[in-house]
Amino acid sequence: MAERARELIRNTGIFAIGSLSTKLLSLLMVPLYTTVLSTADYGTVDVIGTFTGLLAPLVTLSVYDAVFRWALDDANDASTAFSNALVVWASSMLIFSSICVGLAALGMAHIGYFWFMVVLGSLGAICSSLVRGLGYVKLFTVAGIVSSVVFMTLNLVFLLQLELGLTGYLLASAISAAVSLLVVALGARVWQYWHATVVQPARMQQLLVYSLPLVPNALSWWGVASANRVVLLTFAGVAANGLYAVANKLPSLINLVYGAFLQSWQMVAVKSYDDQDAGNYYTKTFDIVARLQLLMVMALLCVTQFVFATWIAPTYWQAWQAVPGLLLTVVYTNMSAMVGATYLAAKRTRGLFLTTVYGAVISIGLSVVSVPFLGIIGASLASCVGFAAVLGIRLYETRRFVGIRVTWSAMLKYHLVIGVQIGLMCLLPVGWLQGVCLSLLMVGLIWSDWPYYQRLFVTLTNKR
């Protein structure tokens, strides 16, 4: 347990360094982008980026996820998966290229750049998945950082010195993506894993059986977020959608760390799947992560109204009302993804897709019912219930191949404290008294669980 926990923490730290570094560099460049690029240009960049990310699993049939999963088994499986995945990728790119030629003939703007980014991005995803699955965690992280530095440097040259505007930005993006692919390919010598002799239709079919359910699964997550915004626009108006977007900023802070953890957890969960104590290890890790995330919710609730009262324009004050529901939504979404890693480990991705669909139907249905009456609060509660349902269904389903036992007494206690905090936020005015009361509730909970956290610390620091 201790060794696996340390590996999980170590890899999480490495992934976090890469993630936070790239996000920081991106944040530092925002003033330049907003100064040099017009709102229309920036909107074009956002649209291209959104559709590039959206099309990646669609045009590649999410085969890079299969490469990652097979690479975690051993090098021979990695070679087989990589070789067959490249053939699937090349076939998909031929179809995609034909469509792009037709769109170019119709005069669609920036289609050449769009084609290049999808082709390069999807190939990069396959190579990066291979590298991550083989355990080249540092190389994976370095490639991301190098790509961000190149992107930032080229933008300084193209936008400030050469004044290329939107074209310069798109060119910098394309070059940085190529650099990332080059770093990954050279660092891991990925060409060594290509063997034409292992390319067979039966093996491609095996990869696709695993990866195809992940395509609608990825699109479903995107669809739920978009559908809730459409419901808000329809029943509550554009202003409510703006409030909802602002309310999402605080909850997104939890994902800064969790995104790195999930990448590491997927690796450890698969490697530990065949261990005799896999169920016990999954249970303990789930319990720890759930508690820590709920503590983060409590900490953010302590400062939510203060942040909105002092740092956000008064016209957005009402947005805080959606924050508690969205904070819990993030926790349930993250824990669902954590349990979802067991589907990947067991190679049962169909269940992953179906549970996402169930949650999407619940979330969207509740949004349609609640938003006309409760506005942004209704939207946040609908998302919260929908993703809580996904978590519950996955915990129930995964009992068949790995049983994660939830410590319900602890989860109830943590949620009860959060409920009391929300109640005090509604009753007490913004100020020191509210902050102290909310903080004391959180500190009291930590104190009551102090033996648990002491045992956790001893386990993680035990070298044996």
pLDDT, one tens digit per residue, over 112-124 is 888 888 888 899 9
Q: Would you give the distance in Å from CA 253 to the centre of its chain?
A: 12
pTM of the full structure: 0.83
Once rounded to an integer, what is the mean pLDDT over residues 28-51? 73
CA distance 434 to 155: 45
Q: Which residue has the higher pLDDT, 303 or 50?
A: 303
Q: Are 339 and 404 in contact (CB under 8 A)?
A: yes
Model confidence at 224, pLDDT cuts 50, 70, 90, reads low
- Model confidence at 51: pLDDT above 80: no
Instruction: Report the C-alpha gap between 250 and 324 in whole angstroms.
Output: 10
> Rounded to the nearest 5°, which phi and psi values hold at 212?
-60, -40
Tell me which residue of 154, 128, 158 sits closest to 140, measured CA to CA: 128
The span from the CA of 185 to the CA of 189, in Å, is: 5
- Collect all residues with Cβ–Cβ distance below 8 Å to 369 and sequence separation of at least 6: 378, 382
More confident residue, 372 or 401: 372
**If you average pLDDT over each of 184-188, 351-355, 356-360, 402-406, which comes out highest?**
184-188
The owner of tokens 């490249």 is: 86
- Segment among 107-111, 132-136, 140-144, 418-422 with least mean pLDDT: 107-111
Name the residue type at position 156.
L
Quick one: which of 389, 387, 384, 391 has its CA closest to 406? 391
Show the CA angle centred on residue 407, arms to residues 403 and 412, nearest 5°: 135
Scanning the structure block, which residue is given the tokens 């060794």?
A: 3
pLDDT tens figures, 266-294: 888 888 887 777 888 899 999 999 999 99
Q: Cβ-count burial of 57 within 10 angstroms (0-12 exposed, 13-18 middle, 19+ buried)?
A: buried
* 84-94 per-position pLDDT tens digit: 999 999 999 99
Greater pLDDT, 456 or 281: 281
Put residue 430 in one of left, alpha, beta given phi > 0 → left and psi -120 to 50 → alpha.
beta
pLDDT tens-digit map of 128-174:
999 998 988 899 889 989 998 999 899 899 988 888 888 888 899 88
Q: Is the pLDDT of residue 402 over 90?
A: no
The per-residue pLDDT for 268 is 85
Q: Span 26-31, mean pLDDT?
A: 72
Average pLDDT, the chain: 86
Tens-digit pLDDT profile for residues 310-331 = 887 788 888 899 999 999 999 9
Stretch 30-42: mean pLDDT: 74
**Cα–Cα dist 416/326, whole Å:** 17
Position 180 confidence tier, pLDDT thresholds 50, 70, 90: very high
What is the pLDDT at residue 463? 55
